[in-house]
Amino acid sequence: MHLDRSMIVALIATVVSIAAPPLTQANASPISQRSESRMIKTAEGVQLRVVDAGKQGATPPLVLIPGWSMSAEVWQRQIDVFARDRRVVAFDPRSQGQSTKTVIGNTPEVRAQDLHALLTSLHVHRTVLVGWSQGVQDVAAYIDQYGSKDLAGIVLIDSSVSGGAGAITTSAQATAAQFTRLGIYAAHQQDYLRGMLAAIITKPQPPGLIDGLVVNGMKTPPSIGVAMLVADLYGVDRTSALAKIDCPTLVIASASSPELDAQQAMAKQIRGARFQSIDDAGHAVFVDQPKRFEAMLRSFLTSL
């Protein structure tokens, strides 16, 4: 997940100094009664766990792409809400959740290939790609490789597209903080994930939701998680993909995001893109303020 730069350093330092409370059993059942969960092969030796909900119709389907270490469950409310009138697909990216763990291909560029294979296998056409955090990098990598001519729209949530290794020198302090957090994550994965979720989801949630996300997050081996995040943030300059987007685009940001200005600037680089922000929300704006987020997304979908 493209973490909000310096927002969790102090929190994580506190969290890892104490024992984490015991985890409750994660719910492995389908997210809603309208969904089906199955494994789809996207590459040799790689299968993605996919939640397929709703039904085919005249309205564009949604494909929901989660952030770093997250599973499809982070979208559980949006799956249930939008599956009432359209097809909704969510999935665990490779090496995350219940999908295949692999030591190769844990980059946005290869995950974009997985996404393309997934859409082809599921016969999902003219879809709206919704990428959050790390998912924004995946969408940018997808556009760079496949363009946007087959998409009905794009939604980018609370992350700017990475400028690659240049950020190491232009944002030295933030980069140092990021690598400090990676060291904590590698040594104290469960505590780190719980602290991270407390930082990015600031509102009370239904019982079991946070524990389930922690359990699923721990299914990514820490060594893979570290390499994945480095590839997301510093591996490739993906900003050139913005000029290739020629379909309707919505950028939604948390009003308190340290990357708010960068996201506004990103939206200006995309032809005709809309930019909207959500007050009183952490990085996971669709979890903290689901009704506001869903109203913005619904308005965008109606405009298509």
Long-range contacts for 24-31 (Cβ within 8 Å, ≥24 apart)? 24/207, 24/208, 24/211, 24/212, 25/215, 26/208, 26/211, 26/212, 26/215, 26/216, 27/73, 27/208, 27/212, 31/72, 31/73, 31/75, 31/76, 31/79, 31/80, 31/90
Q: Decide if pLDDT at 32 tops 70.
A: no
**pLDDT recorded at residue 12:** 52
Q: What is the mean pLDDT of residues 272-294?
A: 98
**pLDDT recorded at residue 174:** 84
Structural domains in the chain plus CATH codes: 9-303 (3.40.50.1820)
What rounded mean pLDDT belongs to the chain?
Answer: 91
Question: 74: number of CA atoms within 13 Å, CB side?
Answer: 32
Q: What is the mean pLDDT of residues 267-283?
A: 98
**pLDDT recorded at residue 36:** 82
Q: Decide if pLDDT at 26 tops 60.
A: no
Question: Range with the lowest mean pLDDT among 23-32, 105-114, 227-236?
Answer: 23-32
Positive or negative CA dihedral for 279, 215, 111, 75? Answer: negative
Question: Residue 235 carries which DSSP code?
Answer: I
pLDDT band at residue 24 using 50, 70 and 90 as cut-offs: low
**Residue % of the chain over a pLDDT of 70:** 88
**pLDDT recorded at residue 15:** 46
**pLDDT recorded at residue 16:** 43
pTM value? 0.91
Taking the C-alpha atoms of residue 73 and residue 253, their distance in angstroms, rounded to an integer, is 21
pLDDT band at residue 28 using 50, 70 and 90 as cut-offs: very low
Express each pLDDT in 171-201 by its tens digit: 888 888 888 999 999 999 999 999 999 999 9
Tell me which residue of 116, 115, 74 sits closest to 93, measured CA to CA: 115
Taking the C-alpha atoms of residue 285 and residue 215, their distance in angstroms, rounded to an integer, is 21
**pLDDT recorded at residue 288:** 98
Which phi and psi angles does 112 have, rounded to 5°? -65, -40
Express each pLDDT in 73-122 by its tens digit: 999 999 999 999 999 999 999 999 999 999 999 999 999 999 999 999 99
